[in-house]
Structure 1
Amino acid sequence: MNRGLTKCVVSYSCGKDSVLALYRAVKSGLIPISLITTYNIDDNRSWFHGVPEPLLLQIGKSLEIDVTLIRTRGEDYSDNFEVELSRLKQQGAQVCVFGDIDIKEHLKWCSDRCKQVGIEPFFPLLREPRLSLVYKFIDKGFKTHITTIDTIRMDGKLLGKQLTREVVEELTAHGVDASGENGEYHTFTSDGPLFKKPIIYHFGNMQYNGKYVTLPLEC
């Protein structure tokens, strides 16, 4: 990354990798002017991690960073991402931070969106060992819980559990990718470094969608 660049936006899902990417971006000297979160206008929750708008706004207040919701359906997802990224560039953003690690298709999608807008992508977790990243996240003191599980790939009993070293060891013992990078599970991070106060939330009733089981996040 060009060290002359200072202002950034952060692609923020509320999951552990996006949070660690934000943390590292700040520690590297970047100044976040907005968290950007894609928001499913049909489900009225964020894409993939299912976070409702009031919780996203609560996170922004705790982190003291503005939140930009990219309200979109699936067919317009990439185009709407670029529209908002372009608008934020006009407000001074020079870099977009992503929490992707090593899946080529994901890295390319992020880079392509930035290229279309003329902004630099930055991947603070790029190609680091996945297991090491999970341990580093936990050891920094972040608090995150497992909110969605692929029941074919891992044991549903871990749903709702805080991600700890012990849970990670259980995952790896059963042959599960500890980072969940392939969609084995999703997380919601509610506290840790950068947070001025913990995020207040609770779980709703368990929901099933094919092979996935989710504990919906509620205020």
Structure 2
Amino acid sequence: MGKQVALSFSGGKDSCLALYYLEREGIEVKCLLTTAWKDQQTTVAHDETRSRVQEQAERFGIPIHFIETDFYTYGDDFVFHIKEMKRRYGIDGIAFGDIYLEGHREWGEQIAGRAGVEAVYPLWSDQAKVPALLRDFVSLGFRAEVIKTDPEKLPVSWEGRELDASFVSDILTYHDVCPMGESGEYHTYVHDGPIFRKGRFTV
């Protein structure tokens, strides 16, 4: 049997594409881990409702566990839950959707090491190849919308836009913006795609 992992899951394009790549490589994703702020009960970074992320997990047919945390205990809470997933599901790895930022990878590897598992990065790539990842996401048939933008990087009016060929063309004109939003330039919610197995999203 191949590697069994938990996937750090936000509900956005990176983590959904990571799930697709992991499954394509024969790596079994036993569960999803999603961080949520204790006070607001919304997901970290994306400010998404827990119910919408829960709905995605149900359509994947993969168990999801929420890590309720705050700014001060984030790392410790993450380690605790990875250890719990190791005990419950027998995972030997924790996968992340990071692409090229070394600081993000160093943090993930440190957290994985503390939990006694391997850090897995299915999307890891050279920065120059990031546009190809976005094109792959679109061509695979994923359907996603922008739910949040950094107004200093992209227009607020982009919120609600679908990630399609037109989006790819437009974002590539912003030379100081990562096409995949690796530095938080924008965040997304994925409605549909090849990893969704239980029903299909309808407008």
Give unpaired runs (5+ residues) of structure 1. 202-219
What is the aligned partner in structure 2 of residue 16 from structure 1? Answer: 13
Normalization by structure 1: what TM-score? 0.86
Is the 8 Å Cα contact of residues 138 and 165 (structure 1) preserved in structure 2?
yes
SS at match of 2:172: helix
Q: Whose strand proportion is higher, 1 or 2?
A: 1
Give unpaired runs (5+ residues) of structure 2. none
What is the aligned partner in structure 2 of residue 191 from structure 1? Answer: 192
SS at match of 1:99: coil
What is the aligned partner in structure 1 of residue 116 from structure 2? Answer: 118
Rounded to whole Å, the distance in 2 between the matches of 1:87 and 1:200 is 36
Q: Pairwise CA RMSD of aligned residues?
A: 1.5
Is the 8 Å Cα contact of residues 142 and 193 (structure 1) preserved in structure 2?
yes
SS at match of 1:177: coil
What is the aligned partner in structure 2 of residue 48 from structure 1? Answer: 45
Rounded to whole Å, the distance in 1 between the matches of 2:51 and 2:16 is 18
SS at match of 1:35: strand
Is the 8 Å Cα contact of residues 145 and 189 (structure 1) preserved in structure 2?
yes
Q: Are 1:30 and 2:32 an aligned pair?
A: no
Moved over 6 A (4+): none
1:6-29 Cα offsets, whole Å, 9 max, x none, are 211101011111111111111111
Identity of aligned residues (%): 27
What is the aligned partner in structure 2 of residue 65 from structure 1? Answer: 62
SS at match of 1:124: coil
Please report how far the alpha carbon of residue 47 of structure 1 lies from its aligned counterpart in structure 2 after TM superposition: 0.5
Rounded to whole Å, the distance in 2 between the matches of 1:144 and 1:163 is 6
Change (3 A) 1:200 1:94: farther
Normalization by structure 2: what TM-score? 0.93
Rounded to whole Å, the distance in 2 between the matches of 1:198 and 1:39 is 26
What is the aligned partner in structure 1 of residue 73 from structure 2? Answer: 76
